[in-house]
Structure 1
């Protein structure tokens, strides 16, 4: 495995998940300097640590080791769609709301949107 390739993929998946090197270091109980060495391509972690990193980033260990032309990045048509899909994936309540909205009529969706807008406005004004 090439160190630079692992570093690029690690940085890519950290960014995709909205995580920082500090977040990863804290979650896996490593010094930030250790994570920094992985991200700079100076060092590569052992396979058991790669598995832990993959679990933390919701990817497979292979995603961190091998760059593939069938990467998940090519699935989405644009960056905004990818960001929304990732947010729904990471937020269970948002996923439940999205699932419930799939069969809703456009009118029902507008009602729910209006309700959420009012709730957010009321919360902001408190």
Structure 2
């Protein structure tokens, strides 16, 4: 259950941004979660709802999640592609030699603060 430690880090980052911008509270938190990030989205949401209660800045914040697709650069045909679920080869040339360019991370996209 690494989602709890990720939420803890996310809320800490949000609080630091609020302090740096002289905000009184954070109303909305927007994140992008990659398909291969290893984060279970439902558990992530539940952890956020539990952990935000301990934050003076995030207590009333709403969490918005965008799921990032798995994007690759094929090393054989140099094609950028988005892979479908459970398909791990280039859609153009069918090669399994590629570099993942997006879809493995979690990113804080935007904060709405007052």
Fold shared by both chains (TM-score > 0.5): no
The two structures have a TM-score, normalised by structure 1, of: 0.24
- With normalisation by structure 2, the TM-score equals 0.25
Q: Of the two, which has the highest radius of gyration?
A: 1
Greater share of residues in strand: 2
